[in-house]
Structure 1
Amino acid sequence: MGKTRQRVVAALAILMTMVLPYVLGTSIAVADEEAIPLDEQHFPDIQLRWYLEFRLQKEENDVITREERYSLDEISVPWFWTEPYRTTTLQGIEYFPNLKRLTAESGNMTTVDISKNPELESLTIHECNLEFIDISHNPKLEYVDVSRNKLNAIDTSKNAELKVLDVSYNGIATIDMSKNSKLQGLEAFYNKLTDIDVTKNPELKSLGVGVNNLATLDVSKNLKLRTLIAPCNKLTFLDLPQPSSVWTHDPSNSHLSEYNNPLLGININAVPHTLEIDSDDDSARTYTVPASERSLNLTEIAPQLDLTKISNIQGGTLNGSELTPDTYPGTVTYHYLLHDQTFYTAKIQFTEQGLA
């Protein structure tokens, strides 16, 4: 009888260890990690919920199974211009660890957490008032578009697979692309860039850095470059890829836009199919010499400038590399040979003391 009672007590003890977690909610918590309710608590943004309902063929408050979570590889949140339908958060994407493509546009969110989505290959967070984005946990990213936001910086040092990056219309002053050797396209229009180094991006085919504060730009090592768009900067000289480049061998498929820069010259081995160097703002394309200077040493400003390509000097004289105006204040212009009788007209303004 005593042995029977002991067996019953032991059986009850085992049963309690199985039942008690359900009573206390432990196993419920585990179950929640496997199957996620499609509700406001787990997915606060209505646009994201609507997308998941449509994509997964669910109703509101249905459950998303583990299999469904792990098999979903794309989320593209629909965009709306009007409140209250603009996306305000992407909370909930952490439940989909195998996402490869994520898109959200015209939203209103200062940050997005993609640290739980290590399989991401394509990321678009466009025009969402984004102030910060961390992509260091996404080593497979190949395409990133975070244009038209409020970013001051972006770190791509952990994204060795990155091929295309668009950070246009932000407030970025500097960007380090030295770890992105596979980069093929970079767009960084309308930022605050004062310097950019693309010498470690040998695969680069397209570079857009218009409307920044760049004083120098070295693309001489980017032999696969086809398109360079860099108007409205402070560039004084441009040295384009050498004769072995795609630019030279296939100029019909190359494009150069450099208007509204105070250029003293451009070294180029073939005239591209599209060439935009004529400025619509005469002051923007004019190099202004400090009022205290009575002459300008061209090669001090632009060391790569080839003096033998200069001709038709008007308003001044060139002695060696020293350019001197005929009058003060005065304007000097000259032709700089680009290629095969195609010239760029440089314009240099000398001002009187106190007028600079």
Structure 2
Amino acid sequence: MKFSPLAFIMALFVMVSCSSDNDDSQNDLYVNIPDQHFETMLIDQGIDSDGMVNQRMLKTDAEGITVLDVSFSGKGTIKDLTGIEGFVNLKQLSVIQHELEQIDLSSNTQLDTLYLMGNYLKSIDVSNNPNLILLDLKVNSLSSITGLPEAKQLKDLRLSFNSFKEISINNPSLENLLMSHNELTTFNVEGAVNLKNILLRLNKITELDFSSNAALENVFVDNNKLETINFGTKVNYKYLNLHNNLLSQLDVSSYKELVKITINNNPDLSCVKIEAGQEIPTIEKSENQEFSSACE
């Protein structure tokens, strides 16, 4: 038989074309899951329906899931959450105590609850997660977070035990903020006008301004380096934990709903101003400190 170069080229083209079509078909059907521990947990929960650790799962399996909890269970540590982008209808996600250094949640636009405590995350972007209500990122290595203004339903933000040195939060829906045990020196919540509860203990903050936070009730800012704090004109404070700071003056005479205040170990704060007859049920102070309506 006489060799035909043209016939050979055409046959090769058909083979390559078929292979390409097959690859496209595979991409349409499957989402990649490169981390075997992630895939194993999906199999154990009956989510990855083929039941095999083969670095992939059907997209239809992922699309049917609205709640996913793959927190550490003693069966291996997840280091790569690639594949989570296939869970496009996910509303609640828990990936607690693994070894994630990065995560891309840009495809998970329906998320309203996210738990990522105990990982190694240094930054996170939630710009494409506008439905978030609760965001728990405690015990990571975070120094930045992007997209908070877009989370217009966010109520609860938990960032304690991280590496933040500064943060400015512009989110009017936020009510609860936990940021203890960081390295904060600069802190701005002027744009969080509905904030009710704030935990900032064990940072390095020297001044705070809460004059824009009219809904604030409970403030825990002990163990900082606070020299000044502006509480604004609101009067609905209930708990003020201010001990172990460097305050030199304090006026709580307008806070008739105050239930507890701690001011001990502020070496230069000898007198806290109150209104005559004002009663505060629980007071923690040093021996040299007093509460009086006649502070100098």
TM-score (norm 2): 0.78
Is 1:46–2:46 an aligned residue pair?
no
Number of equivalent positions: 269
Aligned to 1:226: 217
Is 1:29–2:23 an aligned residue pair?
yes
Q: Which 5+ residue runs of structure 1 have no aligned equivalent?
A: 1-15, 248-253, 288-332, 349-356
Could you tell me which of 13, 37, 47 is aligned with 1:56?
47
Could you tell me which of 139, 150, 167 is aligned with 2:141?
150
Q: What letter is aligned with 1:337?
A: K
Question: Secondary structure of 2:45's match?
Answer: helix
Q: How far, CA to CA, are the matches of 1:169 and 1:89 in structure 2?
A: 22
Could you tell me which of 187, 194, 201 is aligned with 1:203?
194
Could you tell me which of 138, 155, 172 is aligned with 2:129?
138
Could you tell me which of 263, 278, 282 is aligned with 2:247?
263
Question: Secondary structure of 1:112's match?
Answer: coil
**CA deviation after TM superposition for structure 1 residue 23, in Å:** 6.4
Could you tell me which of 173, 176, 180 is aligned with 1:182?
173
Change (3 A) 1:206 1:338: same
Question: Secondary structure of 1:214's match?
Answer: coil
Change (3 A) 1:157 1:57: closer
In 2, are the aligned partners of 1:235 and 1:263 still within 8 Å (CA)? yes
Deviations 1:67-96 (A, max 9, x none): 43322122211314x6x7122221111111
**CA deviation after TM superposition for structure 1 residue 46, in Å:** 1.2
Change (3 A) 1:99 1:341: closer
Question: Secondary structure of 1:175's match?
Answer: strand
Aligned to 2:162: 170
**CA deviation after TM superposition for structure 1 residue 60, in Å:** 2.2
Aligned to 2:5: none
**CA deviation after TM superposition for structure 1 residue 50, in Å:** 1.6
In 1, are the aligned partners of 2:71 and 2:97 still within 8 Å (CA)? no
Deviations 1:174-224 (A, max 9, x none): 11212x111111111111111212222121111111111111111133222
**CA deviation after TM superposition for structure 1 residue 271, in Å:** 5.3
Aligned to 2:67: 74
Q: What letter is aligned with 1:286?
A: P
**CA deviation after TM superposition for structure 1 residue 347, in Å:** 7.1
Give runs of aligned pairs for residues 219-258 of structure 1, distance below 5 A: 219-243=210-234, 245-247=235-237, 254-258=238-242
The structure that has the greater radius of gyration is 1
Q: How far, CA to CA, are the matches of 1:163 and 1:88 in structure 2?
A: 29
Q: How far, CA to CA, are the matches of 2:209 and 2:244 in structure 1?
A: 18
Q: Which moved more, 1:104-113 or 1:64-73?
A: 64-73
Could you tell me which of 181, 184, 193 is aligned with 2:184?
193
Change (3 A) 1:167 1:48: farther
Is 1:111–2:102 an aligned residue pair?
yes
In 2, are the aligned partners of 1:266 and 1:338 still within 8 Å (CA)? no
In 2, are the aligned partners of 1:101 and 1:122 still within 8 Å (CA)? yes
In 1, are the aligned partners of 2:39 and 2:48 still within 8 Å (CA)? no
**CA deviation after TM superposition for structure 1 residue 272, in Å:** 5.0
Change (3 A) 1:66 1:113: closer
Aligned to 2:88: 97
| Percent of residue pairs bearing the same amino acid type | 21
Q: How far, CA to CA, are the matches of 1:135 and 1:79 in structure 2?
A: 23
Change (3 A) 1:274 1:148: farther
Q: How far, CA to CA, are the matches of 2:232 and 2:39 in structure 1?
A: 46
**CA deviation after TM superposition for structure 1 residue 233, in Å:** 0.8
In 1, are the aligned partners of 2:48 and 2:58 still within 8 Å (CA)? no
Q: What letter is aligned with 2:174?
A: L
In 2, are the aligned partners of 1:163 and 1:182 still within 8 Å (CA)? yes
Could you tell me which of 280, 286, 290 is aligned with 2:267?
286
In 1, are the aligned partners of 2:169 and 2:190 still within 8 Å (CA)? no
Q: What letter is aligned with 1:338?
A: I
**CA deviation after TM superposition for structure 1 residue 149, in Å:** 0.7
In 1, are the aligned partners of 2:200 and 2:220 still within 8 Å (CA)? yes
Q: CA RMSD in A?
A: 3.1
Aligned to 1:294: none
Aligned to 2:294: none
